[in-house]
Amino acid sequence: MLTRRQLFPLAGMAGIALASGAAVAHHGWGGYDTAKAFTLTGPIIRSAYENPHGEALVQGDGKIWRLTLAPPFRLQNRGLSVEMLQPGTVGTFFAYPNKQDADEARVERVTIGGKTYELR
Amino acid sequence: MGGFLLAWQEGPLGLAMRTSPLAYPVAETLHIIGFTLLIGPIVALDLRLLGFGRTLPVAALARLVLPVAIGGFALAVCMGLLLFSADAAHVAINPSFRIKLVLIGLALLNVALLHLGVWRDVATWHGVVPARARIAAVLSLVFWLGALTAGRLIAYF
């Protein structure tokens, strides 16, 4: 069976794994401030229908937001085609701001042309 | 280096990985299957080296396990290169990704040292696992499970 000499590195690794999980959640949903959820209506300036995440630059609230969307397969699946995200299209985005980056937000749902599309 | 990564990312392979709805999730899934086939069997072999399942001869277990692990590793690396192409410049500076590469490098070094060392005489162990092989087994667990963890946490940094 395992001696103490063999067990310590295992315990250490487990500790590191747990600590790093708790440390910083920049990019996943945990990195966004759900308490500061906001609604933004504005025109799409540019969009990227791309993996790993789609993106839309949207003008609103006196600035340009970088909005993170879902991967293309999910966007398609939920009914949002690449044509619907062309520049000039006006959308209403319900999003959470990035805790570390004030100009970036992750979109929970978007309304375009009267229809709402869930992205989570 | 930065220019090379950006060129790779913006080249035809990177473009295909970003814009094709299927390519990325398929590559991602095969990447996961690949490292599962690597890590599962290797953990079993490491546990055998640490004294579990003593009725199983080490060499016979290895003959089953190692080809599966090597095949899984090869699949994971190939799919990993495809995934990397999609946003090479971003992923390359991700701290969790860098830790993952270091841990994979250490894991491979550990494998090489074991196979060039006491493993050459595995047929003569007769059920008694040398201390160096046991140390290598612990390091193997730490490095491979660490790499797996770091890979999953890329999305969180």
Indicate yes or no: CB of A17 within 8 angstroms of CB of B146: yes
Q: Which pLDDT score is estimated for B152?
A: 95
What is the end-to-end Cα distance of chain A in Å, rounded?
46
Mean pLDDT of A108-120: 96
Q: For position B156, what pLDDT does the model report?
A: 83
Of B18, B51, B138, the CB nearest to A10: B138
Residues in chain A: 120
Query: Taking CB atoms and an 8 Å limit, are B86 and A9 in contact across chains?
Result: no
Question: How confident is the model over A19-47, as a mean pLDDT?
Answer: 80
Which residues, including other chains, have CB under 8 Å from residue B112's CB and lie 6 or more apart?
none
Helix (H) or strand (E) holding B103: helix B95-116
* Averaged pLDDT, A22-39: 77
DSSP helix/strand/coil, A78: helix
Measured in angstroms, the CA of A103 and the nearest CA of chain B are apart by 17
| A73 vs A1: which has the higher pLDDT | A73
Provide the pLDDT for residue B2.
85
- Amino acid A10: pLDDT: 61
The minimal CB distance from A51 to the residues B52, B86, B135 is found for B86
Contact of B139 with chain A, judged by CB distance below 8 Å, is answered with yes
Residue from the list B24, B52, B153 with its beta carbon closest to the beta carbon of A71 = B24
Digit-by-digit pLDDT tens for chain B (157 residues) are: 889 999 999 999 999 999 999 999 999 999 999 999 999 999 999 999 999 999 999 999 999 999 999 999 999 999 999 999 999 999 999 999 999 999 999 999 999 999 999 999 999 999 899 999 999 999 999 999 999 999 999 988 8
**pLDDT of res. A13:** 60
Question: Are B141 and A71 in contact (CB < 8 Å)?
Answer: no
For A82, the closest chain B residue by CA position comes to B19
pLDDT at residue A51 in the model: 94
Domain boundaries, given as residue ranges, for chain B: 2-156
- B155 and A27 in contact by Cβ < 8 A? yes
What pLDDT is stored for residue B101 in this prediction?
98
Calculate mean pLDDT across residues A94-105: 94
Q: With contact defined as beta carbons under 8 Å apart, do B92 and B5 qualify?
A: yes
Closest CB to B156 among A10, A28, A72: A28
pTM for this prediction: 0.84
Nearest chain B residue to A17 by CA: give it. Answer: B149
Share the mean pLDDT of chain B.
96
- For position A22, what pLDDT does the model report? 45
Identify the three-state secondary structure at position B157: coil
Which residue's structure tokens are 């487990």? A14
**Tokens read off for A117:** 């599309």
User: In terms of Cα–Cα distance, which of B157, B24, B80 is closest to A28?
Assistant: B157
Q: Does A19 contact chain B (CB < 8 Å)? A: no
Task: Scan residues 10-39 of B and list those with Cβ closer than 8 Å to A.
Answer: 17-25
- Among A4, A10, A50, the strongest candidate for a mutation testing the B interface, having the largest count of B CBs within 10 A, is A50
Query: Which residues make beta-bridge pairs with A44?
Result: A58
Instruction: Say if A11 is an interface residue toward chain B (CB within 8 Å).
Output: no
pLDDT of residue A15: 57
User: How close is the nearest chain B Cα to the Cα of A2, in Å?
Assistant: 6
Q: Any CB–CB contact under 8 A between B149 and chain A? A: yes
The pLDDT tens digits for A19-28 are 444 445 566 7
Interface check for B89 against chain A (CB to CB < 8 A): the answer is no
Residue of B nearest to A1 (CA): B51
